[in-house]
Amino acid sequence: MAEEIAEARVYPERKKIYVAKLRELFQKYQSIILVDADFVGSSQMQQVRLSLRGNPKAEILMGKNTMVRQVIRSLKDELPGLQSLLVKNAGEPGYKYIYGNVGLVFTNDDPKLVRGKILENKVPAAAKAGIIAPKSVVIPGGVTTLDPGQTQFFQVLNIPTKINRGAIEILNDVEVIKEGAKVGASEVALLAKLNILPFFYGLKPLWVYEKSEEGTIYNAAVLDLSTEDLLNKFFNGVTKLACISLALGYPTAASLPHLVSNGFKKLLAISLATEYSFKQADKFKEMLANPGAFAAAAPVAAGGAAKPAEVKPVEEEEDVGGFGDLFG
């Protein structure tokens, strides 16, 4: 309801410029990478913008999600595929793609190259209490620069320590933060005292929208797959389909070669066991009847190699003479 009211409002000049720019980008570019911009500062964002002005080339646009969704709705006749970006979460309130601190990266170049350029622009950052850890954090064992009076930080986190020459020594490597867990204030204080910047923040690619594929949206992690990976997954799927088809006795394109091969084996077995013969079985019968002839012809058929050289017997010497000639 709030969005419908917003659509009826008259935009001030600045918002009109933004809407016009967004419509232009939607119509100009073929691919859109949706990125999470949490914890990304303005200076870092500017650095990413500059890096995407070369090759590959892309444009980044941030803005209010309500305005972005409104522009997408206004283009439903011109670009119907864009409506796939307005999908809502199944069984949950809110939208699946246009939500939170999301940004849009527009490009006509290979999305894989653009994603790589985006991921290059990361900066180290300290842990903050209350955030969800993007990765696990391990404090390495060894002598620290902290004096014995600060052992309470380690005791709270159950980190075994000892005093070594007036400084606190951590006995073993300790995982203080697990990936996906909420960061606590104690962990933040300890990491700050140890001058550890555990995280790297930058734009995080989430989804990729392809206009040329009628609004197809896929996870940005798919861009990590190489051509070889895709072929392996495809052939693995074909193999599983063939196995299922053979087990059910239901013929498919994947199981057809195996069905033909198995049928030929059965016919060949019948032919070899009886007087019945057919053209493809004649060669196998000849091989069983005269295996020596085929064995002699095998080297010539395989590589056309010449006759093997005759091996001359080595004449036996009367006296070897020890090891005197070992080095010539």
What the chain holds in terms of domains, given with CATH numbers, is: 2-122+202-224 (3.30.70.1730), 137-197 (3.90.105.20), 227-289 (no CATH)
What's phi and psi for 15, nearest 5 deg? -70, -35
CB 135 within 8 A of CB 127: no
Segments in the chain forming alpha helices (H): 2-8, 13-28, 42-51, 65-74, 111-120, 152-156, 185-193, 227-248, 256-273, 279-289, 291-303
The pLDDT score that the predictor gives to residue 299 is: 59
Antiparallel, parallel or unpaired: β 123-125 and 204-210: unpaired
**In degrees, to the nearest 5, what angle opens at C-alpha 294 toward C-alphas 293 and 296?**
70
The pLDDT score that the predictor gives to residue 243 is: 92
Is the bond into 56 cis (omega within 30 degrees of 0)?
yes
CB 69 within 8 A of CB 95: yes
pLDDT in tens, 32-44: 999 999 888 888 8
What's phi and psi for 298, nearest 5 deg? -60, -50
Q: What is the DSSP letter of 15?
A: H
Antiparallel, parallel or unpaired: β 137-139 and 216-219: unpaired
The pLDDT score that the predictor gives to residue 310 is: 52
Low-confidence ranges of the chain (pLDDT < 50): 1, 4-5, 7-8, 311, 314-328
The pLDDT score that the predictor gives to residue 102 is: 94
Write out the H or E segment, with its range, that includes residue 105. Answer: strand 102-107
The pLDDT score that the predictor gives to residue 296 is: 65
CA dihedral 62, 67, 72, 76 (to 10 degrees): -160
pLDDT in tens, 252-284: 888 888 888 888 888 888 888 888 888 888 888
- The pTM for the full model equals 0.64
Neighbour tally for 109: CB within 10 Å? 16
Neighbour tally for 33: CB within 10 Å? 23
